[in-house]
């Protein structure tokens, strides 16, 4: 008989109990023993929920004290040298030290988990001697069994994926590292086998990314070793986020089951199943319920998909499961009571997805769709209601967007021709100085916002407060000697939420938190309807700031792609269309700013790279429409209006061509963390538009010295044209303190003066 399964459950808790416990522990307000106790309660509660929802195969070891990749690394004793680890069990202080840094050693790097917004800690292999420090999956298995009598399915990250996510070794050393890790994996698995564990879920999401011949061979080595050394254990080779590459070879691997993502990898995986079949002797983990989207599944569509699959695999070889871990969705819709009803009814977070799995299993095992007729009707009704709602049928806007996106958006003049006109208008000095937008959000700023949100302050009081902040910072910026000023973004908590709240088509949940990294959770807005511009969003503050100074004040917007990539979005239309709707709405804001006399407008796109598809062959298309959306947002302004953009904290060196195609007059792009690479890419291909590389790292409270910044500037000017180069910090200053910010900016201006003197003669 078919079974149901979940690949992982969110660890943060419905009220972010997990986050709160971790942070209390870090702050010294919770003893280690109490932390252990609290986290155990959360874990057990999550298992109980899944048990009560009727899930057959429940994951264990999906829980973490911070991050599952860090767990795997510490389990194998992979601790960066600088932490001076001397063997034995890894204490919690060391575990958190790696993640967050200690006074003596810098934290390990973190980076995005495939194409999600979850960030993992990057294992560093350099110079380490892997050893087993503890068997985490075994401990989790025992705990679930002891507490609730659950026969859990331990989850581990597979060796190929683990190696691909690690750093600190040369490409030629992969096999060496594999040979060192494999025995440790065998040891862990053997102990599980001896314990009587039946199934283990081996996560190998790397199988959906490009694989070469050597990878295929590695997979054969890995899984035939496991088959030989731990023959009593059944392995579910689990993939997700896309369709698997090299399907025909992967299905030959000696494992008992293969898990496929039939949501995000639907087309590719289904086609592969049709072309190559599915081995009779293996279990198919059919990932039909979206593990990372927030929408209800169409039960009708899923039942019919499962019916097709049951033609291919036997009943007892089918597991109906989530497409990936539920880590990427909020916990429950239950607590939401302020959402539009047609939206609320169409949502399914983690707990609602458990129900879907159980319903689908019921349909598959007891006579098809009829077995769940009532629920199926209710579900289809909810989806239809949302589809028919006014929010999804704003016809005028849809027509306007269609018309605008049928054109090729382009500035009136090319950069080489508009640049001199802009120079004439602005009369900026060589190496103009500016900042990225936000200034420190002090306790006072946050308190003010709370007062206003709670109704203790009325609109006028709050606005007066914001104006005072702007006054202070306009004066400071003038005094520091910056050339292009900003208003400071004091009215914004979050650069996406701020715009989402003011545009039609968005909704905000109360408790829709998901883990972003460590204890940091984000609550992405939901784009559920057609996006529409309603009224000017930034003109008031920007014009006010401009009225206080003769220097130019840059308007500050978040770009269409960033808004989209940091939101949960509707799935009834392609992402490309959502991007164009956003672009069209933001264009109206750009025009409103220009109409109010603002002549420099920055459209931030820090997240432009985050939407990049995992499959190489799909990337160009994404970049094309992402660039187009940016151009659509910015192309209608006058020749003398200067468009800026900003990008940060991603590897951009492989997409400079696309960035250039965005045709912004000035880009500030972060490099202080990946300095070498980006500068190097400008050696190969210089950048012919205005550019600032970020002369200091805003993530540290340390005030950079003048000489550090002059040397950064000099380095950049070896490959970039001084006439097009801008001087700025590498990101917004929101998280910094006032004093250090002022000191750092003063040094930055000083460094600029030195560089100007050095380069004035050459220009």
- The residues carrying an active-site annotation are 699
- Least distance (Å) between residue 35 CB and Zn ion: 33
Q: Given its phi and psi angles, is residue 569 left (phi above 0), alpha (psi -120 to 50 degrees) or beta?
A: beta
CA distance 532 to 504: 5
Give the residue with the Cβ less far from ligand GLN, 245 or 670. Answer: 670
Which tokens sit at 521? 């959770």
Q: Of 132-140, 541-549, 727-735, 737-745, which part binds ligand GLN (CB under 6 A)?
A: 727-735
Nearest to 224 by CA among 176, 285, 182, 273: 182
Among 646, 690, 694, 745, binds ligand GLN (CB under 6 A): 646
- Least distance (Å) between residue 636 CB and ligand GLN: 22
Q: Of 106-114, 121-129, 221-229, 729-737, which part binds ligand GLN (CB under 6 A)?
A: 729-737
Give the residue with the Cβ less far from ligand GLN, 98 or 486. Answer: 486
CA distance 513 to 523: 4
Nearest to 47 by CA among 30, 60, 32, 34: 60
Give the residue with the Cβ less far from ligand GLN, 75 or 600. Answer: 600
Nearest to 635 by CA among 598, 678, 665: 665
Among ligand GLN, Zn ion, none, the one that 604 touches (CB under a kind-dependent 5 to 8 A) is ligand GLN
Which tokens sit at 629? 């959306």
731 binds ligand GLN (CB under 6 A): yes
Give the residue with the Cβ less far from Zn ion, 648 or 712. Answer: 648
Whether the CB-CB separation of 235 and 202 falls below 8 Å is answered with yes
- Least distance (Å) between residue 608 CB and Zn ion: 12
The footprint of ligand GLN on this chain (CB under 6 A) covers a number of residues equal to 13
Among 648, 666, 678, 709, binds ligand GLN (CB under 6 A): 648
To which residue do tokens 């990057």 refer? Answer: 122
436 binds ligand GLN (CB under 6 A): yes
- Least distance (Å) between residue 668 CB and Zn ion: 8
734 binds ligand GLN (CB under 6 A): yes
Which tokens sit at 636? 């209608």
Give the residue with the Cβ less far from ligand GLN, 579 or 648. Answer: 648
CA distance 60 to 74: 18
Give the residue with the Cβ less far from Zn ion, 206 or 664. Answer: 664
440 binds ligand GLN (CB under 6 A): no
Whether the CB-CB separation of 263 and 329 falls below 8 Å is answered with no
- Least distance (Å) between residue 733 CB and ligand GLN: 7
524 binds ligand GLN (CB under 6 A): no
694 binds ligand GLN (CB under 6 A): no
Which tokens sit at 530? 């057609």
Give the residue with the Cβ less far from ligand GLN, 537 or 755. Answer: 537
Helix (H) or strand (E) holding 728: none
Ramachandran angles phi, psi of 394, nearest 5°? -85, 85
Q: At 333, is the secondary structure helix, strand, or coil? A: coil
Give the residue with the Cβ less far from Zn ion, 2 or 731. Answer: 731
Among 154, 259, 287, 437, binds ligand GLN (CB under 6 A): 437
Pairing state between β 568-569 and 600-604? unpaired
CA distance 648 to 605: 8
Among Zn ion, ligand GLN, none, the one that 437 touches (CB under a kind-dependent 5 to 8 A) is ligand GLN
How far CA 433 is from CA of 292, 679, 694, 727, in Å, comes to 42, 20, 11, 5
- Least distance (Å) between residue 648 CB and Zn ion: 3
Ramachandran angles phi, psi of 324, nearest 5°? -155, -175
DSSP E strand boundaries for 534-637: 554-558, 568-569, 600-604
Q: Of 275-283, 433-441, 507-515, 590-598, which part binds ligand GLN (CB under 6 A)?
A: 433-441
CA distance 611 to 609: 6
Q: Of 46-54, 74-82, 154-162, 431-439, which part binds ligand GLN (CB under 6 A)?
A: 431-439
Give the residue with the Cβ less far from ligand GLN, 124 or 604. Answer: 604
* Rg of the chain on CA atoms, in Å: 27
Which residues from 536-565 bind ligand GLN, rule CB under 6 A? 556
- Least distance (Å) between residue 490 CB and ligand GLN: 11
644 binds ligand GLN (CB under 6 A): no
Please tell me the number of Cα atoms within 13 Å of 716 on its side-chain side: 32
- Least distance (Å) between residue 734 CB and ligand GLN: 5
- Least distance (Å) between residue 648 CB and ligand GLN: 5
Which tokens sit at 564? 């989209």
- Least distance (Å) between residue 687 CB and ligand GLN: 19
Binding residues (CB under 5 A) for Zn ion: these are 606, 648, 731
Which tokens sit at 416? 């080489």
Contact string 455-494 vs ligand GLN (x = CB under 6 A)? ----------------------------------x-----
To which residue do tokens 């699959």 refer? Answer: 309
Nearest to 431 by CA among 380, 387, 484, 470: 484
Neighbours of 414 (CB within 10 A): 10
CA distance 673 to 670: 8
User: What angle, rounded to 10 degrees, do the helices at 299-312 and 373-388 form?
Assistant: 130
Pairing state between β 520-522 and 514-517? antiparallel
Q: Where are the alpha helices (DSSP H) in 389-458?
A: 395-405, 415-426, 443-454
Contact string 584-623 vs ligand GLN (x = CB under 6 A)? --------------------x-x-----------------
Among 438, 469, 633, 728, binds ligand GLN (CB under 6 A): 438
Give the residue with the Cβ less far from ligand GLN, 327 or 650. Answer: 650
Helix, strand, coil percent content, the chain, rounded in steps of 5: 50, 15, 40
Burial of 187 (0-12, 13-18, 19+ CB in 10 A): middle
- Least distance (Å) between residue 437 CB and Zn ion: 8
Q: Of 308-316, 432-440, 448-456, 684-692, which part binds ligand GLN (CB under 6 A)?
A: 432-440
Give the residue with the Cβ less far from Zn ion, 15 or 735. Answer: 735
Give the residue with the Cβ less far from ligand GLN, 439 or 528. Answer: 439
User: What angle, rounded to 10 degrees, do the helices at 616-634 and 395-405 form?
Assistant: 110
- Least distance (Å) between residue 462 CB and ligand GLN: 20
Among 732, 741, 744, 751, binds ligand GLN (CB under 6 A): 732
- Strand ranges across the sheet with 504-507: 504-507, 526-532, 568-569
By beta carbon distance, the residue nearest ligand GLN is 732
CA distance 66 to 518: 5
Task: Give me the residues that bind ligand GLN (CB under 6 A), please.
Answer: 436-438, 489, 495, 556, 604, 606, 646, 648, 731-732, 734
């Amino acid at each position: 008989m078919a079974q149901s399964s979940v690949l992982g459950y969110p660890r943060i808790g419905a009220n972010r109990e997990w986050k709160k416990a971790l942070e209390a522990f870090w702050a010294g307000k919770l003893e280690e023993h109490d932390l252990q106790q609290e986290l155990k309660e959360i874990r057990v509660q999550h298992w109980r929920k899944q048990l009560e929802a009727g899930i057959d195969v429940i994951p264990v070891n999906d829980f973490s004290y911070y991050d599952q990749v860090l767990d795997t690394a510490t389990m194998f004793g992979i601790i960066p040298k600088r932490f001076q680890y001397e063997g034995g069990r890894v204490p919690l202080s060391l575990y958190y030290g790696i993640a967050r840094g200690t006074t003596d050693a810098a934290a390990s790097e973190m980076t995005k988990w495939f194409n999600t917004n979850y960030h993992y800690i990057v294992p560093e292999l350099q110079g380490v001697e892997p050893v087993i420090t503890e068997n985490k999956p075994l401990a989790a298995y025992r705990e679930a069994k002891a507490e609730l009598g659950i026969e859990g399915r331990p989850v581990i990250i597979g060796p190929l994926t683990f190696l691909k996510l690690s750093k600190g070794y040369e490409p030629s050393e992969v096999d060496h590292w594999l040979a060192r890790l494999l025995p440790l994996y065998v040891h862990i698995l053997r102990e599980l086998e001896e314990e009587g564990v039946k199934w283990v879920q081996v996560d190998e999401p790397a199988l959906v990314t490009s694989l070469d011949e050597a990878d295929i061979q590695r997979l054969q080595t890995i899984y035939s070793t496991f088959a030989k050394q731990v023959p009593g254990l059944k392995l579910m080779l689990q993939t997700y986020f896309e369709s698997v590459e090299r399907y025909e070879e992967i299905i030959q691997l000696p494992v008992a089951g293969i898990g496929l993502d039939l949501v995000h990898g639907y087309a590719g995986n289904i086609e592969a199943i049709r072309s190559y079949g599915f081995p009779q002797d293996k279990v198919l983990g059919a990932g039909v319920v979206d593990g990372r989207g927030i929408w209800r599944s169409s039960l009708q569509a899923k039942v019919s998909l499962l019916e097709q699959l049951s033609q291919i695999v036997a009943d007892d070889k089918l597991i109906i499961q989530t497409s990936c871990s539920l880590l990427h969705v909020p916990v429950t819709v239950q607590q939401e009571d302020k959402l539009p009803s047609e939206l609320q009814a169409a949502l399914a977070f983690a707990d609602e997805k458990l129900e879907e799995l159980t319903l689908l299993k019921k349909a598959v095992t007891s006579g098809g769709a009829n077995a769940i007729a009532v629920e199926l009707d209710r579900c289809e009704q909810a989806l239809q209601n949302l589809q028919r709602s006014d929010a999804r049928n704003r016809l005028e806007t849809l027509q306007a967007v269609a018309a605008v996106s049928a054109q090729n958006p382009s500035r009136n003049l090319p950069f080489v021709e508009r640049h001199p006109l802009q120079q004439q208008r602005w009369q900026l000095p060589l190496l103009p100085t500016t900042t990225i937008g936000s200034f420190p959000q002090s306790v006072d700023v946050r308190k003010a916002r709370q007062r206003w949100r709670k109704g203790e302050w009325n609109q006028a009081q709050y606005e007066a407060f914001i104006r005072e902040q702007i006054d202070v910072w306009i004066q400071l910026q003038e005094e520091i000697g910056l050339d292009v000023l900003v208003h400071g973004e004091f009215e914004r908590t979050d650069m996406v939420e701020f715009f989402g709240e003011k545009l039609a088509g968005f909704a905000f949940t109360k408790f829709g938190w998901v883990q972003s990294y460590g204890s940091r959770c984000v609550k992405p807005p939901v784009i559920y309807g057609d996006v529409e511009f309603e009224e000017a969003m930034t003109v008031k503050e920007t014009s006010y700031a401009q009225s206080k100074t003769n220097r130019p004040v840059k308007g500050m917007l978040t770009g269409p792609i960033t808004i989209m990539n940091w939101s949960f979005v509707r799935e009834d239309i392609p992402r490309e269309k959502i991007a164009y709707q956003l672009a069209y709405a933001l264009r109206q804001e750009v025009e409103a700013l220009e109409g109010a006399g603002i002549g420099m407008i920055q459209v931030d796109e820090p997240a432009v790279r985050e939407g990049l598809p995992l499959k190489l062959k799909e990337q160009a298309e994404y970049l094309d429409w992402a660039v187009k959306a940016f151009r659509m947002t910015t192309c209608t302004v006058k020749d003398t209006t200067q468009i800026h953009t900003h990008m940060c904290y991603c590897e951009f060196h492989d997409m400079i061509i696309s960035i250039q195609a965005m045709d912004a007059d000035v880009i500030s792009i972060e490099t202080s963390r990946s300095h070498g690479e980006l500068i190097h890419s400008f050696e190969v291909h210089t950048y012919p538009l205005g550019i600032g590389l970020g002369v200091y790292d805003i993530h540290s409270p340390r005030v950079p010295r003048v000489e550090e910044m002059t040397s950064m500037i000099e380095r950049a000017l070896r490959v970039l044209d001084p006439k097009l180069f801008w001087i700025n910090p590498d990101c917004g200053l929101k998280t910094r303190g006032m004093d250090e910010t002022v000191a750092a900016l003063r040094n930055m201006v000083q460094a600029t003066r030195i560089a100007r003197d050095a380069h004035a003669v050459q220009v």
